[in-house]
Structure formats: structure tokens, C-alpha cells
Amino acid sequence: MTRKPKELEPFTHEAATCSFCPKMCRFSCPVDRVEGSESTSPWGKVTLLRHVQQGQIPLDHEVLDSSYRCTGCLACKKACVHEQELPPMFEAVRAMGAAAGLAPEALKRKDELMSRFGNPVGPELGHCLVDRVPASRFGRQAPVLIFFGCTTLKKYPGIVDDTVRVLDAGEVDYAVAGPDQICSGLPSASHGYPQRFREVALRNIERFRRYPRVISDCPGAVSTFRRRYPELGLPASVQVEHLSILLLELLTSGRLQPRTQAVEKAFYHDPCHLGRYLGVYDQPRELLRRLLGEQPEELTFNRDLGLCSGGGGGLPLTAPTTAKGVARLPVEETRSRKGSLLVSPCPTARKMFSRADSELDVQDPVTLLARRL
């Protein structure tokens, strides 16, 4: 008899399926493409966890380190005939690590911030909202609740300005979530703090109930609201969409008529949580087509197999060099194919791409739209 962690029991079949597979999904894994290590390929990560599960090796720092090397991008699921979804397994292991005090210090600090402020940054995110959004927009009843993501507020407050400008121009009746309600809780879930995630989610759900529609500029938040919140009580009547869907609606309904302005070689990046998680591929492309006057250029790996930005799953905190390397893949391709602009409707992806190449012009579609009003 050896120790077989019960937390991994629910994944017994998944672990065996990956562990005995010929590593068929590895071409799709951004971490594998950057690190080139068997131990951090999807196969390697799961094989090690299977050994832990079987009581053959301990869950130690080395195994945990391997389990942290996943952005949760879900590309491996798209490359898998069995459609295995691995992030839940890694989240379970990270939770075991956190409970045992083995989590990396950077993640512990983020959890502390989540605990104190309800977001992974601090009070300044709320201040940013207060500075940029009229006070009358908070707490009011409206058909639409706008929920800005943490990265937008921390790194790209201009997205808030552009969104407000566009929504006002389109005469949208909306409220803005906050300033004390920021973050979907996804970082807590993916870092291995499920209880903290639950706390944040329940608070958000309580407020979302009042609104027929919740719109966020953060794909991670949208997919979290749609995939994780219902089991915690989010009513099915609350419709959750990404901002790009609302923007396209404003254009197709004629409520906004921006001028078309071409950009030479603009590439579109599919955010993981918008594309693979929610299946939203066409609407952002159509939005760009209307703004640019032509279809955006496609990266070699796109749509279902689109490249991750490296920003998810806490990877920038646990393996920053790898995260940057992942971001470099679409950035370098954009550069090498003489692209002048990389468009991503994901603020986290934008942050990662800018870290990888500070000279490359990376924009959110809402900014392109605001500039064309």
C-alpha cells in the first residue's frame, strides 16, 4: 500500500488515457513548443500525475512545477480525439500544492490580494474605474452590465475610455460593475485556490442576478461566467457575452456607423477563452472586417488551434520566461510576415504580446472602433 491521493481519483481515466497516448496533442501545446521538454508536454505532465495518483512518486516541488506549466489554453483538447480537458486536473493538483503550503510565493501573494481586495492587483483597480466611469453608471439598473477585467484596469485603462465612448455613441443603456466588484475569480481557480474562487464568484453572482445581460472585455471572465458560474447559481436568464459581440451588434444594427480605415496587414489573434472555450471565432473577424474594410490576416495556427498568449494559468508568475516565449510565437510570426498590427480582443494577450515585443502595435478591437467614430 502506498499513498494514493484521493484528490486525483476523479481523474484516473483521464490520467491513463494521456499517459498511454503517443503524445498526439503536443504540436498544439504552446508550453511544449517553447520548452521542448517531455516533462512539461501535456503527456509528461499527466504521466507524472498518474505516477502520483498510483502512489509511485510523491507530489513534490518538481511534479508541482510541471503541473504549473499549463496556461489552460485548451489547445490540447482540440487536438485530442477524446477531447480530454486537462486544466481541471492541473487545478486539482495546484490546490493540493497550495493546501500543503507548496505553492510558489508569487501565487501566494496573488491569493493574499484576492483575499483582501477581491482582485489580484489591489485597490488601484477600483480607483481606475472611479476615475474613468461616471459615478452614475455604478449600481444602477440597466439592460446591460459592463464588467471590466483586471488587466484592462491595470494596464490598459484606455480600453475603459474607448468602451464608454463607443457605448455612449451607440446609446446603449448600461451599468458598470464595480468599483468594489472586479475580477471573475479565474486567477484563484487556476492558481489552485478553489475556495477563494468560490467566494468571489458568489459575490459576483449575487449582483449579476439583477441584469439580463453581462458584457465583459475579458475573455477569461466571460468564459468563467458561462462555464463555471452556473453551477454556483448564476441563473440561466443572465446572458453573458464578450464585448466584441456587443460591438458587432451595434454595427450590424446600424446604431454605430464608423468609417472604414484600412491597416496594412493587420493580424487577428484568437484568445483562448473566447475561441476554444466559447467557440467565438467569426464575430471578432467580422467586426474587424467592417472596421478595416477587409478580412484580417490569419496566423498560421488560428481558430481551434490558435496560439495562446502565455498569459493564462498563472504561467507569467510561475514560469515567466516560458510565458514570454509563448507570447513570442504569434508576435514573431506577425513581424516576419510584415504585419503592422496585431489585434486581440483579450487585454491579457495584449499585455503578453507587448511584453514580448514592445515595438509591435497590439490593439483591442474596441480601440479600433473608437478611433473610427
Partner 1 sequence: MAPDPTTPTMKLRSPVHPSVTESDLTRIFGQDRVSRRSVDRITYSRDLWPRGMLWSRQGRVPHPPDWIVWPEKEEQIVQLLDLANRKKVPIIPYGAGSGVCGGTVPIQGGIILDLKRMTRVLEVKGDSLLATAECGINGQVFETELNRRGFTMGHFPSSIYCSTLGGWIATRSAGQLSTRYGKIEDMVLGVRAVLASGEIYQTRITPRRATGPDLVQLLVGSEGTLGVLTQGTVRIHRLPESRRFRGIMFQDVESGMETIRQVLQQGLRPAAVRLYDELDTFLVGSKKRKKPKNGLAAVIGRVQKTLEHQMIAWPELVGYLEKWIGGRCLLIFTFEGQTEMTRLEDALALECCESNGGRDLGPGPARHWWDHRYDVSYQQSALLEKGYFVDTFEVATTWEHLPRLYRQVREALSGRVVVMAHFSHAYPEGCSIYFTFAGRGSDETETEALYEEVWNLAMEAAMSANSTLSHHHGVGLSKAPFMGRELGPGLGMLRKIKAALDPNGILNPGKLGM
Binds partner 1 (CB under 8 A): choice among 10, 37, 124, 264: 37
Q: Is the distance from CB of 94 to CB of 126 less than 8 angstroms?
A: no
Type of residue found at 316: P
- According to the binding rule CB under 8 A, does residue 27 interact with partner 1? yes
In terms of CB distance, is 13 or 140 closer to partner 1?
13
- According to the binding rule CB under 8 A, does residue 26 interact with partner 1? yes
- According to the binding rule CB under 8 A, does residue 243 interact with partner 1? no
- According to the binding rule CB under 8 A, does residue 341 interact with partner 1? no
Q: What does the block give as the cell for 223? A: 468564459
Task: Select the span of 30-38, 149-157, 178-186, 349-357 touching partner 1 (CB under 8 A).
Answer: 30-38
- According to the binding rule CB under 8 A, does residue 9 interact with partner 1? no
For residue 164, the minimal CB distance to partner 1 (Å) is: 39
In terms of CB distance, is 300 or 340 closer to partner 1?
300
- According to the binding rule CB under 8 A, does residue 22 interact with partner 1? yes
Residue 145 in 3-state DSSP?
A: strand
Cα separation of 245 and 52, whole Å?
43
Burial class (CB in 10 A: 0-12, 13-18, 19+), 45: buried
Cα separation of 78 and 234, whole Å?
27
- Strands, DSSP E only, in the chain? 144-147, 174-176, 213-216, 239-242, 266-268, 297-298, 341-343, 362-363
- According to the binding rule CB under 8 A, does residue 55 interact with partner 1? yes
Binds partner 1 (CB under 8 A): choice among 30, 47, 118, 176: 47
Q: Which of residues 94-113 bind partner 1 (CB under 8 A)?
A: none
Other beta carbons within 10 Å of 116: 10
Cα separation of 40 and 48, whole Å?
10
Binds partner 1 (CB under 8 A): choice among 8, 11, 31, 33: 33
Cα separation of 204 and 139, whole Å?
13
DSSP-derived letter for residue 33 is: H
Other beta carbons within 10 Å of 249: 16
In terms of CB distance, is 10 or 20 closer to partner 1?
20
In terms of CB distance, is 44 or 118 closer to partner 1?
44
Query: For the stretch 92-106, what's the b/e string if a residue is b when 16 or more beta carbons lie within 10 angstroms of its beta carbon?
Result: bbbbbbbeeebbbee
For residue 33, the minimal CB distance to partner 1 (Å) is: 7
Which residue from 210, 212, 271 is spatially nearest to 244, judged by alpha carbons? Answer: 271
Please report how the helices 61-68 and 42-53 are oriented relative to each other, as an axis angle in degrees rounded to 10: 140
- According to the binding rule CB under 8 A, does residue 13 interact with partner 1? yes
Total residues contacting partner 1 by CB under 8 A comes to: 43
- According to the binding rule CB under 8 A, does residue 212 interact with partner 1? no
Binds partner 1 (CB under 8 A): choice among 8, 11, 31, 48: 48
In terms of CB distance, is 65 or 180 closer to partner 1?
65
Cα separation of 92 and 176, whole Å?
33
Q: Which of residues 285-304 bind partner 1 (CB under 8 A)?
A: 300-301
Task: Select the span of 38-46, 138-146, 174-182, 350-358 touching partner 1 (CB under 8 A).
Answer: 38-46
Q: What track of x and - describes contact with partner 1 for positions 64 through 93 (by CB under 8 A)?
A: -xx------------xxxx-----------
Task: Calculate ∠ Cα 162-163-165, nearest 5°.
Answer: 65
Binds partner 1 (CB under 8 A): choice among 19, 78, 249, 265: 19
- According to the binding rule CB under 8 A, does residue 236 interact with partner 1? no
Burial class (CB in 10 A: 0-12, 13-18, 19+), 368: buried
- According to the binding rule CB under 8 A, does residue 20 interact with partner 1? yes
Cα separation of 221 and 240, whole Å?
10
In terms of CB distance, is 205 or 305 closer to partner 1?
305
Strand order in the sheet with 362-363: 297-298, 266-268, 341-343, 362-363
For residue 37, the minimal CB distance to partner 1 (Å) is: 7
Residues within the interface to partner 1 (CB under 8 A):
1-3, 13, 16-28, 33, 35-39, 44, 47-48, 51, 54-58, 62-63, 65-66, 79-82, 300-301, 321
